[in-house]
Amino acid sequence: MVLPVVTGDAMLDSVYILETLDPEDFFERRLDGHAANEILKILDVTTEYRIAFTKPLVERAIAEAAVSKAQVLHFSSHGNGTGVFLTNGKKLSWKAFVELIKPAAGPDKALVMATCGGGDRELTTALDAAGVVFGWVFGSTAEKVSFSDCCLAWSILYNRLCDHGFNKPALMTTLKAINAAIDGDFVYRRWTGKKYLRFPTEK
C-alpha cells in the first residue's frame, strides 16, 4: 500500500509530548519534554504533556495522542542505536517501539525523537518493516546529546515550524541551523509516498 506524499503547507498548531526519562532526570529536573512544552506554550501552540513511567502508561498516552489528532508526537526518553528506555528501566527495541507508537502515526504527522540515537537508520528500518508512516521523523544520530543541547535543538525546530510549517526547503535550513548550533548530528527523514529520504544525506 502506497501512502500519499504530504505537502509542507501545514503550519504547526498542536504537539503531544510524552516524557519517560530516568528517575534521576525527574529529580534533577532535566526534562527536555517539559522544556519543549514551555517553549510551545510561548509560541501559542496547543500542547498536551504526559509523563509515563511504565509501558501501560505509554500505551495509554499514545492512545490519547492518536485521538487528539496532534500534528507532532514528541517522544522524550533515553535511547541508543537499538531502541529506547522507559523510566522503569524497560528497554524497547525499535521494532517494539514502532508497534507501540503505531496508533499515533500518519503521513500528515511528525515524530520528534528526543532521545540519543533517535535519528538512527534502524528506527526507519523498523518503521518501514511495520508499514508505519510519519510524514517527517526528526532525531539525532549521536550517541549522546546533553540536556541543554536537546532543549536548544527542539526550540529551533519548533520556532521554525511555527514560522515556516513543514516546508521542505525551510526544513533543510532548520536542520542546518540546528547542526550549526549543536554537535548532535541531527537529521530528519521525509516520507515520499514510497520511502523515507534522509537530510542531511549520509556520506
State the pLDDT at residue 120.
Answer: 87
Q: At what angle do helices 94-101 and 121-130 cross, to 10 degrees?
A: 50
Given a contact cutoff of 8 angstroms between Cβ atoms, the answer to whether 33 and 20 are in contact is: no
For 124, counting Cβ atoms within 10 Å of its Cβ (0-12 exposed, 13-18 middle, 19+ buried), the class is buried
pTM > 0.95: yes or no: no
- Reply yes or no on whether the pLDDT at 62 is more than 60: yes
- Reply yes or no on whether the pLDDT at 2 is more than 90: no
Q: At 114, which amino acid appears?
A: A
Query: Which CATH number applies to 14-199: 3.40.30.10, 3.40.50.1000, 3.40.50.720, 3.40.50.1460?
Result: 3.40.50.1460
Q: Which of 163, 140, 147 is nearest to 34 (CA)?
A: 147
Which position has the higher pLDDT, 71 or 69? 71
Q: Where are the domains of the chain?
A: 14-199
What confidence tens digit (pLDDT) does each residue in 129-155 have?
Answer: 999 999 999 999 988 888 999 999 999
Q: At 148, which amino acid appears?
A: S
